[in-house]
Amino acid sequence: MKTFRLIVGCLLLASPVMSAGCNKVFLFSREDEIALGEKYGPEFEAEYGGRVDDARVQEYVSSIGLDLTTAAERDMPYQFALLRSHTPNAFAVPGGRIYVTVGLMKDMTNERQLAAVLGHEIGHIVHRDSAKGLQRQLGVELLAAIVGEAVGGGGGTAAKTAAKVVGGLVNLRYSRDQEYNADQAGIKHMAAVGYNPWGMVELLRLLEREKEAGTLGEMLSTHPLTSKRIEEVEDTLREDYPAFSPTQPDPNAGRFMAMHGRIVNLPPPPPKEDLPDVPDDPAPPAETDTSASSGARPPAIRIPDVE
């Protein structure tokens, strides 16, 4: 039933002005996103070694994240977790699941940097960036079938289908516009709950140093980092948040370092197996769902066979 509605909606909405047809029409409802996150979130976590087995650290990360969501413009069942992977990265999975890896938290030196990355990822959920990216990668037909199954609560999903969903999330690439908007959202969330938003600049500079050292790896393809991005954040902070200064110390750095001490020597999880049948994300998305073609369209999305 659900699948039928999605596909019919696609046919009705497709028009000649939408050169890429259904791929430009966003079809995820809030409930679809939540169902998809519930069904595939655990498999996504497993891809990054699963959750760190330390309730105090998880509670700490979660409390910072949930505090920030009180300023978010979109009501979702947000949840936050620290994953065991030593590859620095952070993720927003459709439905409101937000993850940071041990590899990224290890590099931080205070709490406002952690708040910055969580605030940025909340921004991707608010703007539905990860859900849009997944639709772009999997194509409408396959996505409709997957969502229909997830919403229906069916337990049986082919392992190959799960691999496509998880692989689609792992390979997401956000556009420069999406990164700008997530940074701006993150700053807003931080300031609203009392964090010095200059933590966002500290975070981006930390990532820039890793990028130069060649140790940032896959995070760069997910969240493109440019010097312009840092300048844009600095401009916003100087213009819109004059009460904050980059030289003010983080009053919560001590409690952050106490948690940092609990994770810094954790061993990495066993190497993950390669995901089969996962196409690369063809290109960063257009800025809006229904914009006219700019002449630089991503290639047509391959629609894999439905399992």
Q: What are phi and psi of 26, to 5 degrees?
A: -90, 125
- Decide: is 223 part of the binding site for Zn ion (CB under 5 A): yes
Q: Which is nearer to Zn ion, 143 or 182 (CB)?
A: 182
Q: Which two tokens stand for residue 48?
A: 């990054």
Q: Which string of x and - marks every residue 58-97 that binds Zn ion (by CB under 5 A)?
A: ----------------------------------------
Residue position matching structure tokens 């039928």: 4
- Decide: is 138 part of the binding site for Zn ion (CB under 5 A): no
Q: Which is nearer to Zn ion, 98 or 144 (CB)?
A: 98
Separation of alpha carbons 286 and 292, rounded Å: 10
CB of 107 to Zn ion, least distance (A): 16
Q: Which is nearer to Zn ion, 140 or 185 (CB)?
A: 185
Separation of alpha carbons 225 and 98, rounded Å: 19
Per rule CB under 5 A, count of chain residues that contact Zn ion: 4
Separation of alpha carbons 5 and 15, rounded Å: 18
Separation of alpha carbons 162 and 61, rounded Å: 27
Separation of alpha carbons 124 and 72, rounded Å: 11
CB of 242 to Zn ion, least distance (A): 26
Q: Which is nearer to Zn ion, 35 or 174 (CB)?
A: 174
Q: Which stretch binds Zn ion (CB under 5 A): 110-118, 218-226, 228-236, 249-257?
A: 218-226
- CB-based closest residue to Zn ion: 223
Which one of residues 182, 190, 200, 204 is an interface residue with Zn ion (CB under 5 A)? 182
Q: Cβ of 209: how many Cβ atoms within 10 Å?
A: 12
CB of 148 to Zn ion, least distance (A): 29
Q: Which is nearer to Zn ion, 25 or 100 (CB)?
A: 100
Question: Minimal CA–CA distance to 110: which of 198, 188, 199, 193?
Answer: 199
Question: Minimal CA–CA distance to 130: which of 173, 87, 89?
Answer: 173
* Under 8 Å between Cβ of 166 and 43: yes
CB of 238 to Zn ion, least distance (A): 22
Residues taking part in catalysis: 121
Q: Which stretch binds Zn ion (CB under 5 A): 58-66, 163-171, 181-189, 212-220?
A: 181-189
Q: Name which of residues 149 to 178 contact Zn ion (CB under 5 A).
A: 174
Beta bridge partners of 101: 83
To which H or E segment does residue 101 belong?
strand 97-101
Separation of alpha carbons 7 and 183, rounded Å: 34
Separation of alpha carbons 134 and 171, rounded Å: 9
* Under 8 Å between Cβ of 262 and 285: no
CB of 122 to Zn ion, least distance (A): 11
CB of 182 to Zn ion, least distance (A): 5
Q: Which is nearer to Zn ion, 132 or 223 (CB)?
A: 223
- Decide: is 127 part of the binding site for Zn ion (CB under 5 A): no
Binding site for Zn ion (CB under 5 A): 174, 179, 182, 223
